[in-house]
C-alpha cells in the first residue's frame, strides 16, 4: 500500500509540512507500507514523524541498492569450500539374521514375557525380542543349547535374512522395533530413560532432586562438563523455577539406501516437575520452543557430539552386542562438502577431531564382529533371571 510521508492534505497525518500539493504526490514523499503498519504509523504520528519515516525509507533504499549491486555480473562473491555435518551417524554392522520360534505369549503379554527371560551375565549383551502372530522374534541366536528365551519358545527355530524384512513395510517396522529395544537397554545403562509418549530419550538425575553433571568429549576432542539435568533459576529473584530441564534427544534408525542404515540424532528437551514426574503437557510447548530457539548451528553441533560421546562412552564407535550379532555405529556425523558464498562474519569453530582407535577399542571391535570366543558353547550359568532395567 502506498502511503504519504507528509500527509496528502494539511489536515492529514503529518500534513503540517510546507509542501505544495504537487510535491506531496511525488515519489520522494511516498513510502510502501502494509495495511497494518499504515494504520499504526498514522495513529502514532508523533512516534513516526516525517524525519523518522524519511530515514526509514532511505535506509531501505540503501539496503536494496546493496543487494542489487551484489547481483550485478562480475560482482559475484567468491565461493567458500566448507564441510557441513548432518545429524546422521553411519552404521557399519547390523544383524543379518532374525531368529524366531513359536511362543505361548501374545503381543499384549510382552511385560509378562520379559519376566521369563534369562538375561546374560555379560552386561554388554542385550537381548531385544518381539512378539507377533504367536512367535517370538529376536536377533539372539536361539539355535544355541542355552539362550535367554528357553522358557518362552518351543518348536523349530526359523531364521530370516534381514534384507527380506527390509523389503517389506511390516518387516522393516519389526526390524526397527528390535533395534529400538536394543537402544532402550543400552541407554538405560547410561542413565538415560525412554519417553514413549514423545519418542525421545532423556537424562535422569543420579539422585532425586539433584543436578546431574556429565563429563564428555567435545567434537574438538577436548574434555568438557555440563548440566544434563537441572532446575533453572529465575534471574530476577534468584529463586528456582517450578520445573526441571533434562537434555533429551530423539534417536531414530533410518534406512538411507537399500543396504545402508544410519542413526539419526535430534536434540530435544524434556521437562519435569521434580526431576522425575513429567511436567503437565500444556506447560511444556512454550518453554521448550524458547530453549530450542537459542540452539544455533555451533551449539546444535556441540549437543549432537555430547550424545555421541555419551552413547559411545568416548570411544570410536557405539557397539551393541546381541549374542552372536552386533549393531556398530561409527561415533561421527556424516559430513557433506559444499561450495557457497558463505555467511559473512559467521565463522564458528567447526573443527571435528574423531576419536582414534587404540588396542582396546580394536579388540572390542573384533569381539563385536566375530561374536566373541566360544559363543555357541554357552553354559547355563552364563544366564540369570534378572529382569532388564
SS3 for 211? coil
Lowest mean pLDDT among 169-183, 216-230, 305-319, 320-334: 216-230
- The answer on pLDDT for 16 being more than 90 is no
Q: What is the model's pLDDT at position 220?
A: 80
Q: Pick the residue with more confidence: 120 or 233?
A: 233
- Let me know if residue 384 belongs to a domain: no
* Residue numbers of the domain that contains 57: 2-70
Measured in degrees and rounded to the nearest 5, phi and psi for residue 43 equal -80, -20
Q: Is the pLDDT of residue 200 over 80?
A: yes
Reported as a single tens digit per residue, the pLDDT across 275-323 is: 989 888 777 777 777 777 767 777 888 899 999 999 999 899 999 999 8
Question: What does the alpha-carbon distance between residue 316 and residue 331 come to, in Å, rounded to a whole number?
Answer: 5
- CA distances (Å), 125 to each of 108, 189, 215, 224, 322, in order? 25, 12, 25, 29, 5
Strands (E), 152-243: 153-161, 192-195, 200-203, 212-217, 223-230
- Predicted local distance difference test score (pLDDT) of residue 378: 42
For residue 205, pLDDT beyond 90: yes
97 shares a domain with 8:
no
Residues 54, 104 within the same domain: no
- Cα–Cα dist 372/14, whole Å: 85
Residue 300 lies in a domain: yes
User: pLDDT per residue over 225-261, tens digit each?
Assistant: 999 999 999 988 889 999 999 999 999 999 988 889 9
What would the mean pLDDT of 48-66 be, rounded to a whole number?
A: 84
Specify whether 146 is located in the same domain as 19.
no
- What's the whole-number average pLDDT of the chain? 84
Query: 302 and 226 share a domain?
Result: yes
C-alpha to C-alpha distances, 152 to 135, 144, 186, 322, 346, nearest whole angstrom: 10, 14, 23, 18, 58
Q: Tell me the C-alpha distance between 284 and 269, whole Å.
A: 9
CA geometry: angle 313, 314, 317, nearest 5 deg: 80
Q: Are residues 144 and 207 in the same domain?
A: yes
Characterise 112 by phi-psi region: left (phi > 0), alpha (psi -120 to 50), beta (else). Answer: alpha
CA-based angle 229:201:284, to the nearest 5? 65
The answer as to whether 80 is a domain residue is no
Domain presence at residue 151? yes
Amino acid at each position: 500500500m502506498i502511503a504519504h510521508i507528509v500527509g496528502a492534505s494539511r489536515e492529514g497525518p503529518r500534513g503540517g509540512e510546507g509542501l505544495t500539493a504537487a510535491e506531496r504526490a511525488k515519489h520522494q514523499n511516498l513510502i510502501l507500507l502494509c495495511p497494518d503498519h499504515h494504520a499504526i504509523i498514522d495513529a502514532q504520528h508523533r512516534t513516526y514523524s516525517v524525519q523518522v519515516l524519511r530515514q526509514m525509507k532511505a535506509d531501505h533504499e540503501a539496503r536494496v541498492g546493496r543487494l542489487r549491486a551484489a547481483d550485478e555480473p562480475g560482482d559475484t562473491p567468491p565461493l567458500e569450500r566448507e564441510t557441513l555435518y548432518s545429524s546422521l551417524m553411519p552404521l557399519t554392522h547390523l544383524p543379518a539374521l532374525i531368529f524366531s520360534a513359536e511362543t505361548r505369549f501374545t503381543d499384549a503379554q510382552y511385560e509378562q514375557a520379559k519376566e521369563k527371560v534369562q538375561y546374560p551375565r555379560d552386561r554388554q549383551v542385550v537381548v531385544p525380542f518381539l512378539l507377533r502372530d504367536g512367535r517370538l522374534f529376536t536377533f539372539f541366536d536361539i539355535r544355541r543349547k542355552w539362550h535367554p528365551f528357553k522358557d518362552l519358545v518351543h518348536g523349530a527355530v526359523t531364521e530370516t535374512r534381514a534384507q527380506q524384512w527390509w523389503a517389506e513395510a511390516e518387516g522393516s517396522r519389526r526390524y526397527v522395533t528390535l533395534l529400538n529395544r536394543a537402544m532402550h537397554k543400552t541407554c538405560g545403562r547410561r542413565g538415560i530413560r525412554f519417553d514413549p509418549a514423545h519418542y525421545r530419550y532423556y537424562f535422569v538425575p543420579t539422585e532425586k532432586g539433584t543436578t546431574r553433571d556429565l563429563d564428555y568429549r567435545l567434537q574438538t576432542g577436548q574434555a568438557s562438563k555440563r548440566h544434563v539435568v537441572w532446575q533453572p533459576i529465575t534471574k530476577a529473584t534468584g529463586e528456582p523455577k517450578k520445573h526441571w530441564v533434562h537434555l533429551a534427544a530423539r534417536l531414530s534408525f533410518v534406512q538411507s539406501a537399500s543396504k545402508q542404515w544410519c542413526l539419526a540424532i535430534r536434540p530435544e528437551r524434556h521437562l519435569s516437575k521434580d526431576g522425575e514426574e513429567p511436567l503437565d503437557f500444556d506447560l511444556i510447548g512454550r518453554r521448550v520452543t524458547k530453549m530450542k530457539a537459542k540452539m544455533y548451528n555451533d551449539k546444535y553441533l556441540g549437543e549432537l557430539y555430547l550424545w555421541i560421546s555419551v552413547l559411545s562412552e568416548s570411544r570410536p564407535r557405539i557397539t551393541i552386542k546381541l549374542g552372536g550379532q552386533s549393531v556398530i555405529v561409527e561415533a561421527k556425523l556424516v559430513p557433506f562438502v559444499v561450495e557457497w558464498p558463505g555467511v559473512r562474519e559467521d565463522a564458528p569453530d567447526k573443527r571435528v577431531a574423531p576419536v582414534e582407535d587404540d588396542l582396546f577399542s580394536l579388540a572390542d571391535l573384533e569381539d563385536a564382529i566375530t561374536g566373541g570366543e566360544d559363543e555357541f558353547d554357552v553354559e547355563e550359568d552364563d544366564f540369570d533371571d534378572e529382569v532388564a532395567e
